[in-house]
Structure 1
Amino acid sequence: MFDEFIQFVRALYDEPSAPIPLHAPVMGAPEKDAVAAAIDSTFVSSVGAFVTEFERAIADFTGAGYAVATVNGTAALHIALRVAGVQPGDLVITQSLSFIATCNAIHYCGAAPVFVDVDEETLGLSPTALQQWLERHAERRAEGAFDRASGRRLRACVPMHTLGHPAAIAAIAAVCADWGLTLVEDAAESLGSWVGDRHTGTVGRVGVFSFNGNKVITTGGGGMIVTDDEQLALRAKHLSTTAKKPHPWAFEHDEIGFNYRLPNLNAAFGVAQMSRLPGLLASKRAVASRYAQWCEDHGWAFVLEPRGARSNYWLNALRMADQATRDAFLAATNAAGVMTRPLWTPMHRLPMYATCARSPLPMTEALADTVVNVPSSARRQVG
C-alpha cells in the first residue's frame, strides 16, 4: 500500500537500499577546521572566542538584539523562563502538542503548565483557544492575571513553533499583552522561519533555539536564548554561568545559578554550520516542495507552511486519514528502512502532566493521532 511512497523517498535522496534517517546533519571540512582551531586555541570548554562569535551570528541572523548560548535547548528554555519571572507556584500556559522539554523547563522553575489547544494550520498554540481559556478561568488583578480556581498567578505563555512552522505569534502576543502574560517563544525547531519580516523567537520578550544533532544546524548539543532586552540577556548569561561574579581569580557567586554554558568546541562547530545555513534552508524548501507535489499528485495530505509565514520545513509532515492508517504507514516505512515517526505523545497523556489544568484539546489529539514525520534532511550536495 505504501510502496510507491517508499520508492519516491529513496529516489529523492538517491539511496536505493541503505536506511534513510529522519534528519541527518550536513557537515564536513568547515566544521573540522573550526573545531581544530578551537583545539589549537586551547579554549575548548565554556570560555572562548567561538562562543561569542556564534552568539553574534545567531543574533545577526534572527535580528535579535542579544543572544546567549547554552549547552542545550532545554537549558535555554529553563533560563528563559527564569529571567521572564516565572516563580515557584506560578502557572504557565503552553501547548500539549510539544516535545517534553517545554513542560520540563516549566517544572524546573517550580511552576505548572496549563494546556490549551493548537491550530490545525500552524500546529502551534491557538490564540483563540488561549483567549477562551483566559476568559473562562482567569481574573485580572492589579498585579496580573490569576487562575480563579486555584488562585495561582498566570505568569507566562510558551507557544512552540511546531516542526519549524511559525505559530500565529502576532495574535498570541496580542492576547498575552492584554492579560499581562510574558511571552516566551519556544523556537527550538524554527531557525530560519519567519512571519513577515520577523524571525521566530523575536516577537516575545525572550525566545529560544536548539542545535541538537537533528536540527537545521547543529552544534552536537546546544541552545540559544535571544532577546532585545540587554538586562535580561545579561541576567541570562549570569544564571547560565553558575551566577559567578566577575573577578580575576576569586570564585564568588551571588545566587544559585546553573552550569549551562556552551563549550567553545561546540560553538566552533556552530560557527561553521552558520556558513551553511542559507544553503541548508534552500535545500530543505526544495525537499518540501517535492513532497508537496508528490502528495498533491497522489491525493495525500502534506503539511504546508502557514499562510503569511515562511517555514524552515525542519521536519516534513504528512497527515493520515486516521490512527490505524498512520500506524500501518509507520510500520511499513520503518520496515523498509525509511525512517518515519509520529508526533510526540501529547503532554496531557503522560503520567507526570496528566493532572495539569487544560482546555478541551480536540485538535491536539487529532493531530497527534494522524500526523507523521518523514525524512527531511537537506540533500548532501548542499555546502
Structure 2
Amino acid sequence: MSGIGVGVIGCGVISDIYLKNAALFPQIKMRAVADLRAEAAEEKARAYGVEALTVEALLAREDIGIVLNLTIPAAHAEIGHRALAAGKHVYSEKPLAGSFDEARALNDAAQAAGLRLGCAPDTFLGGAHQTARALVDAGEIGRPVAGTATLMLPGHERWHPNPDFYYSAPGGGPMMDMGPYYITAMLNLLGPVARVTAFGGRSRDSREIATGPRAGQSVPVEVDTHLAGVMEFAQGALVQIATSFDVRAHRHGPLELYGTTGSMTLPDPNRFDGTVELHRDGAWQPQQMRHGHGDGNYRGLGLAQMAGAIASGGPHCASGDLALHALEVMEAMHRSAREGRAIEMTTRCERPAPLLAERGTGEIALQEEVA
C-alpha cells in the first residue's frame, strides 16, 4: 500500500504527534503542512521532512487526498468546507466544528460531495477500548443497563500559560474540552444517545494563571466549570457523566459499565492503553488485551483507518456522523443545564465497526472485513 497523501493545516502542538506517528501507518503519506504563521509551518516541515506551503497551495496539490485539519476549533468548519470544495477528504481534530449547527452543515457537505469526513478522538480504536468493546459484544456483562463517566480536575490554569480558551464561551468548559473522549468511548460501546439531562455551575468567576509569562493574571470564567448529568442511550442504558474543573481530588474511575450479569471498568479514554477489568465471582479481574495499538500514543490511528477505508471502499470508524452526534450530546447537556429540562437528540449514529484483534502496529482491519 503506497498510502494516501495527507496535508496538514494547523501546525500547533498537537501536530507533532500526528506527524511523528504517520510513519507507523502505511495507509497515509504526509506530504505538506500549512499554517497562517508561515514560520510555524516551516518549523514542522524541517522537523518531519515535508513541504511547507500556504493553505491555498496545499489545497491545490493533486497528490494530497486528505486534509488533516488541526486548526483551532473555531476554524474547523471553514477549513473543512474549503478542503471539501477542493475535492479533498477531511479528518479533523475534535470537536468537528465550533457548534453543532456548523458541524451538521459540514457533515452534510461531505456526504453531498461523496467525500469522507472523519474526526478525533480515535482513542476508542486503541487496544484497551477495543478489548472492552469485544467483551461487551461477547455478552461478558450481560445487557448493559448503566454506567458512569467521570472527568474531574482542578482546572487548566495550573499548568497552561494561556488558559483563556478553556473558560470562554462558546466552546470552553470541561464538557466541550474533554467530553468528546468520554462520550465517544460510550458511543462505541452502547450506540447512540436518545436524550440527556444535566445541571451545571461554576465555583468562581475568574481563574488565576499559575505559570508562564502571564502568571498572576486573572482569566474571566464565562462557562459552567462543573457539568453533571445523565445520558439515556437508545438501547436503554443510563450513564451518569460528570465533567469538572472544580474538583481538587477524587476516587472515581474514568469509565464504568454495569450490565445484567456483571460490571466493567475501563481506563482513561484519552489514552490508547490501560487495563480493562471485569467483576466476576466477587472480585475484579484484569482482562488480557488482545487488540493492537494498546501500548502507547497512536493518535492518527483514526486517520489511517479512514485512509484504508477510502482505498477499500469500506466504512471508517471515527466518522463525521459519530463526531456530529457526540457534539450534539455535549451541546444538549449545556442546554439542559440552562433550560432545566431533558433534551431529545435529533441525530443518530451507528456504533463504529469493531477492529479485528491480534493486529500489529500499522495493521488495521474491521471484523466484518475478515469473515
TM-score using structure 2 length: 0.30
Higher helix share: 1
TM-score by length of 1: 0.29
The answer to which structure has the higher strand fraction is: 2
* Structure with larger RCO (C-alpha < 8 A, sep 6+): 1
